[in-house]
Amino acid sequence: MTDQYTPPEVWTWDKENGGTFGAVNRPTAGARTERELPTGDHPFQLYSQGTPNGQKVTIMFEELLAAGMQAEYDAWPIRIMEGDQFSSGFVAINPNSKIPALVDRSGAEPIRIFESGAILMHLAEKFGMLLPSETKSRAETLSWLFWQMGSAPYLGGGFGHFYAYAPVKIEYAIDRFAMEAKRQLDVLNRNLATREYLTGDEYSIADIATWPWYGALVMGKAYDAGTFLQVEEYEHVRRWARMIGERKAVRRGRLVKDVSDRVGGIAERHDAADLDALDI
């Protein structure tokens, strides 16, 4: 840390901050372009991208379909690096301009749901799956679901940003968030030392929410940081991550809206056959 920064009395935004997301970040909300969103034929219209938060919802849909539920969905790509999330159509569904966002048209009138945890809860309650109804088990599941929602920003926006995406490497920031990332992994590792899944013996939306973030991290598939964080230390998280990753619905869900072609995915999904063709 060679340069000392003194904050001004009043912060003003007069330049792009640089880094991977510098071209799209702004200190204001709202639509920047006028553009309607496409709409398909299915009851559920999902607008997202294959990031960890996006994978949660496609995995959930694929789990529902695998269980025989009437949960067919259209998945449309929102290319966040190109600013699709700031179109008027998307902002109407999610005023926070973050993916994923869902429109549920299965009832008398369309319902918008944004924030990945809210979408998982909505679908779990609608179909009576992956969220226990018994009070104690439900409380445990929701506790871990909200643990993920509160913790992952420190992993992604904190550690991931400063370690992999920031325009300069800042020792203090990387150290601060590496410490927190490892603390979170230790929380998971201690919990999974005595449990098959996060909440006990049953797979749930807590596992679906947590796996795309922490499963990828301990398997060395996030930020190229496996060695740096010594992820092999977290043996119970790695066992859990491998087990979740072997589920067919998880393999299918993570391929939807992968516009980067990192894992040979598809940009849009409108029918089960779109994924069947990948021979998963």
Which tens digits make up the pLDDT trace of 64-108? 999 999 999 999 999 999 999 999 999 999 999 999 999 999 999
Q: Are residues 95 and 123 in the same domain?
A: yes
The helix (run of H) or strand (run of E) holding residue 248 is helix 248-253
Q: What is the CATH number of the domain that holds 177?
A: 1.20.1050.10
Domain total in the chain: 2
User: What is the model's pLDDT at position 259?
Assistant: 52
Domain identity same for 240 and 259 = no
- Report the predicted TM-score, pTM, of the whole model to 2 decimal places: 0.95
DSSP string, 136-166: HHHHHHHHHHHHHHHHHHIIIIIIIIIIIIS
Distance CA 161, CA 20 (A): 9
How high is the pLDDT of residue 261? 46
- Domain that residue 39 falls in: 1-130+248-280
The verdict on 270 and 179 lying in the same domain is no
CA neighbor of 87 nearest in space, from 76, 97, 75, 72? 97
Q: How far apart are CA 181 and CA 175, in angstroms?
A: 10
Question: Do 172 and 211 sit in the same domain of this protein?
Answer: yes
Residue 74 corresponds to which amino acid?
D
Q: Are residues 97 and 39 in the same domain?
A: yes
Residues 173 and 190 in one domain: yes
* Closest residue by Cα to residue 216 from 204, 205, 206, 225: 225
In the chain, which residues have pLDDT < 50? 261
Co-location of 261 and 198 in the same domain: no
Same structural domain, 252 and 226: no
If asked whether residues 252 and 237 sit together in one domain, one would say no
Residues 11 and 124 in one domain: yes
Which tokens sit at 24?
A: 């799209």
